[in-house]
Amino acid sequence: MMLHHDKHHASYVEMLNAALEEFPELQERTAIWLLLNLIKVPKEIRTAVRHNAGGHVNHSLFWRAMAPRGGDGPVGLLADAIVRDFGSVEQLMVRFAEAGQQRFGSGWVWLARTQLDGGGLQVFSTFGHENPLLQGHYPILVNDVWEHAYYLKYENRRADYLKDWWAVANWEEAARRYEYSDNSSRDDRETEGRRLLAATKAFEEMHRDYRPTTSA
């Protein structure tokens, strides 16, 4: 896990900084703002920004989605919503495992609150470092199914990794994020997905080095 954090995550930040080198006005922006406002990013660096800002944001969410003592399961409003939308926590886990298994190649598997159907919960995967916020869906829980996330310990057994991951899932963080998600993230493009930022703020404080800023 430390290798994953120090090497893989840090490299996205380095590459994001490199892409932004010629564009000082964009260096002021956060990674989430860049993702939500790709149309304002010059075409020649748009792909690099999309991939590396996505890698940074998704890993930031991923570290927050885990804790040694994250609770035994969902509580409060999130627990109610899971029963409403999946039938049970077990059913949610089945869907999560399927989505993670079916993602061909590298990607992420998400529990997200959609902006459709009155804000219902859905499980799905994304390719590469795509983030559901770009489709207006708000991330609640996320697991990394890039091979580098599990290969050292599980080799090619992605299904075992997905199953064991629940032991470290941070249900307290998930419940908090669900409560933040009450309003539509669609309107948050200019305010940098403020609820997502609020939910990840503690992480950012702990890892200032990973902010996509250039050195003086």
Residues 6+ apart with CB under 8 A from 208: none
- Alpha carbons 179 and 15: distance in angstroms, whole number: 33
CB 150, min distance to Mn ion, A: 10
Nearer Cβ to Mn ion (109/149): 149
- Alpha carbons 146 and 125: distance in angstroms, whole number: 11
Give me the 140-179 binding string for Mn ion, x by CB under 5 A, dash otherwise: ----x-x--x------------------------------
**In the bound complex, which residue of the shown chain has the CB atom lying closest to Mn ion?**
144
Taking CB under 5 A as the criterion, which residues in 126-145 touch Mn ion? 144
Nearer Cβ to Mn ion (115/143): 143
CB 119, min distance to Mn ion, A: 28
- Alpha carbons 94 and 159: distance in angstroms, whole number: 11
Should residue 188 be labelled a site residue for Mn ion when binding is judged by CB under 5 A?
Answer: no
Give me the 3-22 binding string for Mn ion, x by CB under 5 A, dash otherwise: -----x--------------
CB 128, min distance to Mn ion, A: 11
CB 76, min distance to Mn ion, A: 29
Nearer Cβ to Mn ion (146/171): 146
CB 205, min distance to Mn ion, A: 21
Which residues here bind Mn ion, judged by CB under 5 A? Answer: 8, 144, 146, 149
